[in-house]
Structure 1
């Protein structure tokens, strides 16, 4: 059963039935174990070759053991658990064990520093932490409450209990009768968003969030139970559950997890795609931009049938090169830590290169002004999602312990995403930027993405980030930070050539009046470019 055949019909008819009680661990993973027990997970170690396979039955037993560990430690439904576990199978034991018990996992990436961890533990009033390997050393100077449970995976440290010992003692049997049932409205998971101007907010999802990701997996990722799906993502951010957990296992798809090293190796990733028979693939734009710089003709992509991307819009030039070699179009999708996939391109619809696509089944999405009135076609406004009473399946319940931020996001019956776009006459959405990324220069409004897309078509440009930089004459000018492809060196001649290229590719007023060549761009842990960091750096420079 593939993706929808008729977009309009699916939009009209689709809905998700929400049961009164729901538990992803029992109702999905354990049910799959009983009915088909096929391979749920292919885990690949850092070298790209060593691997292990896990069935749904394996995951049922592993998660039962961890749920029993938590019970033994006195955890109850509603307790928050800080989870700092990278791309290893233990992540699944921990996450699914939490779900079964109604404990709320708060995944975090291992790159966080001590002060980041301290903030998260205190803000969430965490009841404990499960931490992998030497990341435990970051907890050395942190003060935690007396009843705070510390569990260390693959590491010995004073004051920490050993995960392997606890799991060996715990039973692998767990009945639903042994735990307090979870209602569909009970909390499921908390994610910390990437903070740009202040501390990260805590995004709280209830149990229906898992059900909402059926939309992500079924329509945008186009999955069936026969697929082998690989989403590139760290376990510490929301994309992991978008592509390695909820929607995929609702359908019964096999997922791939690769224990990627800190440095992205494009050749290794292409070998995994080829050697493990990956049929559907999801990667952020950063990864695609690096993959297309390789000699793609060396690889066999015959098993790959569907490619998707999310995180930031993908430049048309990258889409063209990927299709040329893999024969798959990259279907862009849009969503946030706060949502499931809400706007996307689908196989049943024509793709307009550079467009976000159309709203996903199950959602009313529109481009609106500050008061939630619809904007005219081709005029930029807020991307907003209908969320009457804040109980829309697939949309978060609010920012945990932050009523002010929640009220700012939900008003007039809509959830305001904080992103801007415009909609054309055919109903396709076109991303402009984060509300605070839009550049106002010489009376014009310029979206950084459209300039970056033009830059991407220049043969010397590997990556770019565009911001508004302060300027005495114009107030603000368009400035581009550019990472060059190997073999190119920055020069005044190259700057002029790139500027002329952009003038020919898009409206002349959008060209970058300043270009700075850099070795790399600042990014969030999820691979999104942090333009706010570049703006702050530029403002500080010009101030001094």
Structure 2
């Protein structure tokens, strides 16, 4: 990248870092027009590693957490370590355009791999370590991996299909442990390699990332991003997170999903901040994460709604959260009840944000903005968001519409497209990118999420938003999580049915069902009240933590077709005296 392009990137970065208001940022920000761009070489190595004096990474695993210690890597050290890996991979024959699957947990080697692969011009395909052999094989057949860098816990699963992967073109298998037959050792590869690497010149439209969506409603889609769409595009995410040079930023997200690249990697490093990661084993512990926020001086925290819902189950008065400068949430819309609970404990609102694997942060409650709990916020700098009907006509204020992005001019943070041309034609049309989500905008320009276009349903001709009802149900003291789906009904077509996970200390019973229906009748408008509920131990979710309502919809259809009732399923009609309650 020539110096003028780097200077423009830095100018726009600094504009967002120093913006006095959202209005200032929105009106003045312009996407940098890169010609040649390699973020890892030109920005990370030649700017950050030379100018930043604060750490790049604070790494904590379970052992370090117990001792109160951490492993700290500077920007200079990450540059050197990733250069050693870049040299090693280049010596193997991995080069520009080759696709490499990276299946690593939240450890320094993950950061090194991202940087090294960018430097040699390779294409990164991040993947969670939770994938099954069939998932890995499917991705290899579609993305054409040349190599796989895998965490030790994944090796046995890959070995089950290793022969098939080799037939699909996978040539190199690299892991961090003592390797078995056909595997290379990560540390042996990098041992003795030079700490300097010139890097490959890449164009802004060269492919950089291949992600597979979490599959909330369908088989995962393959999403393609360039050397500019995520590295430069996440300037909007950096601005929303509120990270600054020298801040300590923590994003609670599993590697392998776009959210990790969004916030842990690009947003933090675009700001010149220190990213804090906790590589924990076993089940998620909200208590442990709350202790880390205190003990390691975290300034900005980003977490998905699933995590926030678990955090508020803890006694937040035990923790000092007031020193944290910023809370944000993305991945799914955040329920207003959760926002209020955290505000009461920490004196700050969680600022909701909206984007997709296909994009960077598109809509958000940005630093300094007036927060309206329940709102996604306003369009991000660099994004022209418009709500439209099926024909692409803008809808009026307070009317539901498809969330779309104008593609002329095309925002840098927007993906190249999918590997499915039919899907591309579906989402890129009429000069717009259709996100597949529905929202409405109020008179002040704030956007409110309604739901996925295929999650919203009608009951007695009323349009029902599952998310809105789920937010209402979370206000009941016994409800930890809720998922609302349409349940077939002879009269109304569909009625809203709520699957409910209870908080610790509550058990399913008819008395509790009565109490929930009483709450529903007193707090939710008649046209959209859930008329059936079912207590379940857990909700079906993707491995990235998003509720699979599509699975619940199918289950509900099957139950109603067979005329069967769940073990802890209750209908409003089971409690005739409920109707006597005065609202």
In structure 2, how many angstroms separate the alpha carbons of the residues matched to 1:453 and 1:45?
34
Deviation, 1:300, is 1.7
CA RMSD of aligned residues (A): 1.5
In structure 1, how many angstroms separate the alpha carbons of the residues matched to 2:414 and 2:250?
24
Deviation, 1:492, is 2.2
C-alpha offsets along residues 350-408 of structure 1, whole Å, 9 cap, x if unaligned? 1111111110111100211112211111111111011137x421110101x32111111
After the TM superposition, which residues 8-27 of structure 1 pair with which residues of structure 2 at under 5 Å, given as runs?
Answer: 8-27=23-42
> Does 2:236 match 1:215?
yes
After the TM superposition, which residues 165-204 of structure 1 pair with which residues of structure 2 at under 5 Å, given as runs?
Answer: 165-176=188-199, 179=200, 181-204=201-224
After the TM superposition, which residues 279-294 of structure 1 pair with which residues of structure 2 at under 5 Å, given as runs?
Answer: 279-294=299-314
1:79 aligned partner: 98
In structure 1, how many angstroms separate the alpha carbons of the residues matched to 2:127 and 2:19?
34
Determine helix, strand or coil for the equivalent of 1:129. Answer: strand
Deviation, 1:493, is 2.6
2:324 aligned partner: 304
Deviation, 1:346, is 1.9
In structure 1, how many angstroms separate the alpha carbons of the residues matched to 2:253 and 2:238?
15
Determine helix, strand or coil for the equivalent of 1:493. Answer: helix
Deviation, 1:343, is 0.4
Contact kept in structure 2, 1:3 and 1:223, CA below 8 Å: no
C-alpha offsets along residues 421-453 of structure 1, whole Å, 9 cap, x if unaligned? 111111111111111100211111100011011
In structure 1, how many angstroms separate the alpha carbons of the residues matched to 2:310 and 2:50?
41
TM-score by length of 1: 0.96
Contact kept in structure 2, 1:503 and 1:510, CA below 8 Å: no
> Does 2:334 match 1:344?
no
Contact kept in structure 2, 1:432 and 1:447, CA below 8 Å: yes
After the TM superposition, which residues 4-153 of structure 1 pair with which residues of structure 2 at under 5 Å, given as runs?
Answer: 4-30=19-45, 31-47=47-63, 48=65, 49-142=68-161, 143=164, 144-145=166-167, 148-153=171-176
C-alpha offsets along residues 459-509 of structure 1, whole Å, 9 cap, x if unaligned? 111111111112233221101011111121222232232223233333222
> Does 2:176 match 1:158?
no
* Alignment partner of 1:362 out of 365, 382, 398: 382
> Which stretch shifts more, 359-368 or 149-158?
149-158
Q: 1:74 to 1:423 in 2, by over 3 A?
A: same
Contact kept in structure 2, 1:225 and 1:253, CA below 8 Å: yes
Contact kept in structure 2, 1:343 and 1:356, CA below 8 Å: yes
Contact kept in structure 1, 2:217 and 2:549, CA below 8 Å: no
> Does 2:269 match 1:249?
yes
Contact kept in structure 1, 2:487 and 2:497, CA below 8 Å: yes
2:420 aligned partner: 402
Contact kept in structure 2, 1:66 and 1:93, CA below 8 Å: yes
Contact kept in structure 1, 2:143 and 2:210, CA below 8 Å: no
Contact kept in structure 1, 2:31 and 2:411, CA below 8 Å: no
In structure 1, how many angstroms separate the alpha carbons of the residues matched to 2:509 and 2:256?
39
1:414 aligned partner: 432
After the TM superposition, which residues 500-519 of structure 1 pair with which residues of structure 2 at under 5 Å, given as runs?
Answer: 500-519=518-537
1:383 aligned partner: 403
Contact kept in structure 2, 1:480 and 1:515, CA below 8 Å: yes
Contact kept in structure 2, 1:127 and 1:149, CA below 8 Å: yes
Deviation, 1:319, is 0.9
Q: 1:513 to 1:8 in 2, by over 3 A?
A: same
Contact kept in structure 1, 2:104 and 2:151, CA below 8 Å: yes
Q: 1:198 to 1:10 in 2, by over 3 A?
A: closer
1:325 aligned partner: 345
2:470 aligned partner: 452
Determine helix, strand or coil for the equivalent of 2:538. Answer: coil
Give the unaligned 5+ runs of structure 1: none
C-alpha offsets along residues 66-107 of structure 1, whole Å, 9 cap, x if unaligned? 111111111121111011111111001111100001101100
Q: 1:411 to 1:77 in 2, by over 3 A?
A: same
Q: 1:46 to 1:3 in 2, by over 3 A?
A: farther
Q: 1:452 to 1:275 in 2, by over 3 A?
A: same
* Alignment partner of 2:292 out of 263, 268, 272: 272
> Does 2:561 match 1:543?
yes
Deviation, 1:333, is 0.3
> Which stretch shifts more, 293-302 or 420-429?
293-302
After the TM superposition, which residues 474-489 of structure 1 pair with which residues of structure 2 at under 5 Å, given as runs?
Answer: 474-489=492-507
In structure 2, how many angstroms separate the alpha carbons of the residues matched to 1:8 and 1:373?
26
Give the unaligned 5+ runs of structure 2: 1-13, 563-583
In structure 1, how many angstroms separate the alpha carbons of the residues matched to 2:424 and 2:515?
46
Q: 1:122 to 1:496 in 2, by over 3 A?
A: same
Aligned residues: 538
In structure 2, how many angstroms separate the alpha carbons of the residues matched to 1:542 and 1:73?
58
Deviation, 1:197, is 4.7
C-alpha offsets along residues 240-273 of structure 1, whole Å, 9 cap, x if unaligned? 1111111221220111111022311111011001
In structure 1, how many angstroms separate the alpha carbons of the residues matched to 2:170 and 2:125?
18
C-alpha offsets along residues 167-211 of structure 1, whole Å, 9 cap, x if unaligned? 1142222113xx3x1011111111101224543111101111211
C-alpha offsets along residues 486-541 of structure 1, whole Å, 9 cap, x if unaligned? 12122223223222323333322211111101111111222211111111222223
In structure 1, how many angstroms separate the alpha carbons of the residues matched to 2:553 and 2:298?
39
2:487 aligned partner: 469
Q: 1:262 to 1:387 in 2, by over 3 A?
A: farther
Contact kept in structure 1, 2:56 and 2:274, CA below 8 Å: yes
1:522 aligned partner: 540
Deviation, 1:121, is 0.6
